[in-house]
Every structure is written in structure tokens, then in C-alpha cells.
């Protein structure tokens, strides 16, 4: 074993042990996890099974669906893949830090991200943040190693795994533009990177045109949904600062890291700063805030944090080891108290049982993508998609005769948009229409949620 990577192997060992617990902790699937699994089934069954949401990137569903197609449990395989991607992100954080900064920064940054509560919690949740961040980090790793073809390719895959990774990719192209102006990069290298990034995206746009007659349709739908469905996630300006500190006190040293970088002015260090600040500021100014959105910037934030800590410790000279020891002790104590594994219970077992038993295969309407995730059924109508409001309700009422099975959890579709004052009344009318046209075979109230299953 190469002694050069001893510290990395220590971090990977710790990370793997912690994540084994994550893998064996039972929990129900989150909403987006079910969407990606069902889209994968839809793709690989050529539309016979699953569901389709046009606004979603295709890479992650393609991966999950492939394993379903060859007969494996896509949920279990997905969790294992997420774990491997997580370890890959930790490794790439170390390798990039060691190249740009030093081993101390590499060790601390990879250790910090490995047990960061949000990052660890999503280790067994099949969202696209971790896979896309792995591809992003791989693209940036090859960028710093001047492998332009591979860099562009993996940055493209990152974008097509999660569209919002574009905010992390733009700085790389800004750097190349700067290199060109300063004649530090050849036009050929820039062309290779741009082509390897652009070609897969071009293929994706062509597919969109074939499917929707508009190459930008997924982006337009996503923009529409972002404007109209995210109000429940609106948070104050200081949301990220407060939660970053709660999960790791030492993130404050990222500010010190930025200060030292501004003094030393090493260009590669500045690139790391921009890779963090550009997307972080954009996320900061948005009302919609969730900690998972920061997963892509965590590696760069912790590089800055670790650099700030080591520069701060260097000020104490002979006491440097003692300072770093105290920091690590406090970090371990805080991490032990913030580590949590997902144990989500959706209380939707009745819907799962129904979908597993019913022989109905056509005309299935659902208010939640998870309803069909444990079956080999196809959803004909997504009641929630792209937005549940009065207009959508009117569309549904106009084709009630096409429905053979309708599964509704009112908490999936409510509350209605604040400006849609008639939505609540129309929801009652929709339920009445279903009750008249079909047979209500299941109804239960769970808190403020009402569960309905109608069948023809």
C-alpha cells in the first residue's frame, strides 16, 4: 500500500464503517427517490412500467433502471451506489486538496465532509445530489490534472445528473476563458473541454426535441415548478449559516481560509474559492433553501475550512499540534452528537399493499410516486404533477372516466398555492366526482391527511 495515501485510507475506513450503519437502517423511500426509480423502469421498459416526469435529468434514472432491467433490486443497488459515490467524493476531496493545498488540508477537509450530518444522512436516500457531485468532483479533479477530455465529459455527466450543478460548472469555464485571455491555455485544450462537455448535452437536447418538440422543455418545466411549488421550503437569509455551524462549528474557519487566500493570491487556491462562492451565493439569495442543496459545494467549503484551520494553527508555531488536537477533539464530540441516519416512515403501507394486490394495470392515478415503487405498475396520471392547482383539478375532472384506480393522500397535494383561493373547494369537488364515478374502497384519516383509494 502506498504510504502517500495512508491518511486517506484512514478517512475512508472511518467513513465506510459509519456508512455501513446507514445501509442497514430501515426507512421508507423519499419522494424524489421513488421518482428516479420509477423513471428508470419507464425508460428500460419503453413506457410499459413506472412513470415519467419531463423536468428530471436522465443519468440517475438510467443507472437505477439498468439494474432493475437486469433483475436486481434497484433500491438496494441504489443505496450501495450512493455509498460508493459518497466514498468517491471523500476521496476526491482529499486528492484535490492534497494537490492544491497540502496533506493536512486534505486530511481535515475529507474528514470533515465524511461525517457532515447532511452529507451522511443522504447516504441511503436515492437523491441525485451525491451521484452528480461525484461526477462534478471527478470532472474538477481531471481539470486540475489537465485531462481536458475527461474533465469536460464528467462535468457534462454531472450536469445531466442534476441540472443545478451548472452553477458549479460555470466557474470552470470562466477559468478557461481567463486562461485563454492570459494565454495560459491553448485554444485546442479549451475546444476539447467544451466539445466533450457539449456533445452529451447536445444529444440530450436532441432527445428533448424528439420527445417534446422543444429542446429546452425540461428546463422550462423545472423553472415553472421552482417558481410555483417551493414556498414550503422558503427560509430566512441566515438559514445556511446557522445550520452549517450546527453541524460543524469549524465551518467559520472557511472565512479565515478565504482571508488567507486573498493575501497569498495563489491562483489554484482562488479557483477553489470561486468554486465554493459562486454557487453558494446564488443559493444564499434564493428563498428556497434546503441543506441538501449545498452538498455540491461542501467539498470546496471544507477545503477552505481546513486551510483556514491549518493557517490559524501555524500562527501558534510550537503549540500548533496542541491547537489541532483540540480542534479534532471538539470536532469528534460535535460530530458524534449530530450524526443521524434516515429512518423516514411515510405511513403509506395501505397504498403499497393495494398496488401489490390489484390486477388493474391501466388508468392508474396517483398523488405520490412512491405508491407504485414496489410494484410493476405504470402511472397513467400524476395528480401532483407538475403543479396541483385549480387548473390541474379541472383537467382531472374532465377525464375522470379514464381512471380505473385513483390513490390520493391529500397531504401530497395540499396545501394549494396561496394565490389559488378556489383550489380547496375544487379539491372537494374532485373527491366527490371520484366518489360518484368510481367506488371508494379505502378511506382513512392520519392526522391532517386523508387517504383515499377509488376503484372502478
Model pTM?
0.95
Same-domain status, 355 and 320: no
Closest to 382 measured CA to CA, from 118, 4, 42: 42
Count of domains forming the chain: 2
Quote the radius of gyration of the chain (alpha carbons, Å): 24
Each residue's pLDDT expressed in tens, for the chain with a length of 456 residues: 567 788 999 999 999 999 998 888 889 999 999 999 999 999 999 999 999 999 999 999 999 999 999 999 999 999 999 999 999 999 999 999 999 999 999 999 999 999 999 999 999 899 999 999 999 999 999 999 999 999 999 999 999 999 999 999 999 999 988 888 888 778 888 899 999 999 999 999 999 999 999 999 999 999 998 888 877 889 999 999 999 999 999 999 999 999 999 998 899 999 999 999 999 999 999 999 999 999 999 999 999 999 999 999 999 988 999 999 999 999 999 998 888 888 899 999 999 999 999 999 999 999 999 999 999 999 999 999 999 999 999 999 999 999 999 999 999 999 888 889 899 999 999 999 999 999 999 999 998 999 999 999
Give yes or no for a contact between 222 and 55, defined as CB atoms under 8 angstroms apart.
yes
Classify residue 119 as left (phi > 0), alpha (psi -120 to 50) or beta: alpha
Same-domain status, 311 and 212: yes
Helices (H) and strands (E) in the chain, counts: 20, 5
φ and ψ at residue 64, rounded to 5 degrees: -65, -40
Look at residue 226 and tell me if it is in a domain. yes
- What CA–CA distance (Å, rounded) separates 403 from 214? 29
φ and ψ at residue 356, rounded to 5 degrees: -75, -25
Look at residue 90 and tell me if it is in a domain. yes
Structural domain boundaries enclosing 365: 349-455
pLDDT confidence of residue 199: 95
Look at residue 100 and tell me if it is in a domain. yes
Same-domain status, 305 and 390: no
Same-domain status, 69 and 161: yes
pLDDT confidence of residue 2: 60
pLDDT confidence of residue 22: 87
pLDDT confidence of residue 120: 94
Same-domain status, 314 and 446: no
Same-domain status, 398 and 439: yes
3-class secondary structure, 28:
coil
Same-domain status, 286 and 357: no
Same-domain status, 332 and 387: no
Closest to 196 measured CA to CA, from 164, 137, 156, 167: 156
- What CA–CA distance (Å, rounded) separates 137 from 148? 14
| DSSP state, residue 425 | H
Same-domain status, 329 and 358: no
pLDDT confidence of residue 230: 76
Same-domain status, 425 and 334: no
Closest to 66 measured CA to CA, from 35, 33, 36, 89: 36
Same-domain status, 356 and 288: no
Same-domain status, 325 and 371: no
Look at residue 343 and tell me if it is in a domain. no
Amino acid at each position: 500500500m502506498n504510504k502517500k495515501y495512508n491518511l486517506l485510507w484512514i478517512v475512508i475506513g472511518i467513513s465506510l464503517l459509519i456508512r455501513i450503519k446507514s445501509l442497514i437502517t430501515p426507512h421508507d423511500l423519499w419522494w424524489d427517490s421513488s421518482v428516479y426509480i420509477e423513471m428508470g423502469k419507464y425508460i428500460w421498459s419503453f413506457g410499459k412500467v413506472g412513470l415519467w416526469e419531463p423536468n428530471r435529468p436522465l443519468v440517475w434514472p438510467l443507472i437505477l433502471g439498468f439494474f432493475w432491467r437486469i433483475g436486481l433490486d434497484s433500491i438496494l443497488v441504489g443505496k450501495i451506489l450512493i455509498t460508493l459515490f459518497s466514498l468517491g467524493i471523500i476521496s476526491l476531496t482529499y486528492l484535490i486538496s492534497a494537490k492544491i493545498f497540502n496533506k493536512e488540508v486534505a486530511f481535515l477537509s475529507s474528514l470533515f465532509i465524511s461525517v457532515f450530518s447532511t452529507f451522511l444522512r443522504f447516504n441511503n436516500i436515492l437523491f441525485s445530489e451525491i451521484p452528480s457531485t461525484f461526477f462534478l468532483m471527478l470532472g474538477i479533479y481531471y481539470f486540475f490534472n489537465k485531462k481536458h477530455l475527461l474533465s469536460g465529459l464528467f462535468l457534462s455527466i454531472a450536469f445531466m445528473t442534476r441540472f443545478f450543478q451548472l452553477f458549479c460548472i460555470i466557474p470552470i469555464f470562466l477559468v478557461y476563458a481567463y486562461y485563454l485571455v492570459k494565454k495560459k491555455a491553448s485554444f485546442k485544450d479549451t475546444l476539447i473541454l467544451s466539445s466533450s462537455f457539449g456533445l452529451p448535452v447536445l444529444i440530450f437536447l436532441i432527445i428533448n426535441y424528439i420527445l417534446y418538440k422543444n429542446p429546452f422543455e425540461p428546463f422550462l418545466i423545472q423553472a415553472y415548478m421552482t417558481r410555483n411549488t417551493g414556498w414550503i421550503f422558503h427560509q430566512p437569509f441566515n438559514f445556511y449559516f446557522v445550520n452549517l455551524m450546527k453541524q460543524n462549528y469549524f465551518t467559520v474557519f472557511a472565512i479565515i481560509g478565504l482571508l488567507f487566500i486573498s493575501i497569498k493570491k495563489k491562483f489554484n487556491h482562488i479557483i477553489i474559492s470561486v468554486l465554493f462562492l459562486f454557487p453558494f451565493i446564488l443559493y444564499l439569495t434564493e428563498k428556497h433553501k434546503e441543506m441538501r442543496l449545498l452538498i455540491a459545494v461542501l467539498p470546496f467549503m471544507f477545503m477552505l475550512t481546513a486551510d483556514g484551520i491549518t493557517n490559524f494553527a501555524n500562527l501558534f508555531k510550537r503549540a500548533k499540534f496542541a491547537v489541532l488536537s483540540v480542534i479534532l477533539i471538539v470536532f469528534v464530540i460535535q460530530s458524534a452528537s449530530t450524526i443521524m441516519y434516515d429512518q423516514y416512515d411515510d405511513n403509506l403501507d395501505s397504498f403499497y399493499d393495494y398496488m401489490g394486490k390489484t390486477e388493474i394495470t391501466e388508468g392508474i392515478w396517483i398523488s405520490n410516486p412512491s405508491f407504485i415503487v414496489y410494484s410493476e405498475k405504470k402511472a397513467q396520471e400524476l395528480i401532483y404533477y407538475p403543479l396541483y392547482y385549480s387548473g390541474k383539478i379541472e383537467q382531472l375532472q374532465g377525464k375522470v372516466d379514464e381512471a380505473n384506480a385513483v390513490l390520493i393522500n391529500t397531504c401530497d397535494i395540499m396545501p394549494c398555492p396561496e394565490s389559488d383561493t378556489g383550489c380547496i373547494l375544487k379539491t372537494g369537488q374532485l373527491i366527490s366526482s371520484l366518489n360518484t364515478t368510481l367506488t371508494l374502497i379505502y378511506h382513512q384519516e392520519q392526522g391532517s391527511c386523508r387517504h383515499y383509494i377509488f376503484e372502478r
